[in-house]
Amino acid sequence: MDIHALKAFATVAATGSFSQAAEHLCLTQPAVSKRIAALEHQLDVRLFDRIGRKVLLTEAGETLLPRVGRILAELEDGRRALANLSGRVAGRLTVGTSHHIGLHRLPPVLRRFTAHYPEVELDLRFMASEAACAAVERGELELGIVTLPPAPGPTLQHTPVWEDPLQVVAGPDHPLSHMEGCTVETLAGHGAILPEAGTYTRDLLERALEPLGIRLRVGLSTNYLETIKMMVSVGLGWSLLPQTMVDKSINPLPVEGLPPLQRTLGVVRHPGRTPSNAGKRLVELLMTNGDGIVPPETEREREK
């Protein structure tokens, strides 16, 4: 089969759009359609149904997709393995990360990385940690720099980088900020602003409250922690945020009966994927020091 046709098929399936696939592949839409048509002719099956503006996989397409994914992943793995033989740190490095980590943790690391390895084309994609983990599992990303899952599965390799203590917070004008003591029961009686259900951070809080039989009143949900902080600061509810985000615009709330909570931020990789030289160097830099400051001895070792 034509590898270009398989790439076109996988990209249309991922985007659900011929035009978006064409943009991603740097092709015209007719060129993508031609490749799909050629693949359908070769296999003698229809791979996509076009219903209005939607492009949906047929049963044959659903059957083919995971196999194409494995073929493309093996080819990419082979390319990386051969490129690694030269020791050169170059090429495309796809990394997924959350907005919070991208804003508050990564800038000094990426500044150092791009200065040291200018031949690396860094493809940085912002997404929820859960989505990044799934994309690494599917082989769409080489690395995810994310909130690590509370209960890691066997399909991802986890490398902790930062411990991220969490703090219950409320705005200065919120009733909870004027109480001398706050219990878990009192906290649960007020509306919360939290990340969406199923996110690692929210799961962490809900699992801590589950043995106490406490159910939360969640009035608003968003996965953007900076947005949550803004809404908390104007009194729309309380929340659970990283301690690094606490400033004079919000008040930390000691809560009786709630154990200390923290999440772990770090790197996820697929254990079956050959890491690129660029990926290995970025992980080394993160592990050397999460603030992006590389000790002099490490610098000299890399220059040899």
Q: What is the DSSP string of 204-232?
A: HHHHHHGGGT---EEEEE-S-HHHHHHHH
pLDDT value of position 86: 64
Q: 77 and 92 share a domain? A: no
Residues 78 and 97 in one domain: no
Rounded distance between C-alpha atoms, residue 248 and residue 191, angstroms = 21
pLDDT tens digits for the chain (304 residues)? 688 999 899 999 988 899 989 988 889 999 999 999 999 999 999 999 988 778 899 999 999 998 888 888 778 777 767 766 767 788 889 999 999 999 899 999 999 999 999 999 999 999 999 999 998 988 889 999 999 987 777 789 999 999 999 999 999 999 999 888 889 999 999 999 999 998 999 999 999 998 888 888 898 889 899 999 999 999 999 999 999 999 999 999 999 989 999 999 999 999 888 888 899 999 999 988 654 333 333 333 333 3
35 and 100 both lie in a single domain? no
List, in sequence order, every residue forming a beta bridge with 269; answer none if it has no partner: 157
42 vs 2: CA distance, rounded Å: 10
Domain that holds residue 62: 1-85
What is the domain count for the chain?
2
First to last CA, the chain: 44
96-111 exposure pattern, b = at least 16 Cβ within 10 A, e = fewer = bbbebbbebbbeebbe
166 and 73 co-located in one domain: no
- Are 209 and 303 within one domain? yes
Residues 55, 95 within the same domain: no
Same domain, 95 and 39: no
Mention every residue, 6+ apart, whose C-beta is less than 8 A from residue 114: 120, 122
Per-residue pLDDT, 148: 93
Which of 27, 61, 85 is a domain's end point? 85
Residues 162 and 261 occupy one common structural domain:
yes
For residues 201 and 282, state if they share a domain: yes
50 shares its domain with 178: no
pLDDT of residue 28: 93
- Domain boundary residue, one of 68, 85, 102: 85
pLDDT of residue 191: 93
Q: Which of 36, 68, 85 is the last residue of a domain?
A: 85
Distance from C-alpha of 198 to C-alpha of 176, rounded to nearest angstrom: 26
Give the sign of the dihedral formed by CA 203, CA 205, CA 211, CA 214. Answer: negative
194 and 123 in a common domain: yes
What is the reported pTM?
0.71
CATH assignment of the domain containing 141: 3.40.190.290
Residues 62 and 104 in one domain: no
Please tell me the predicted confidence (pLDDT) of residue 249: 95
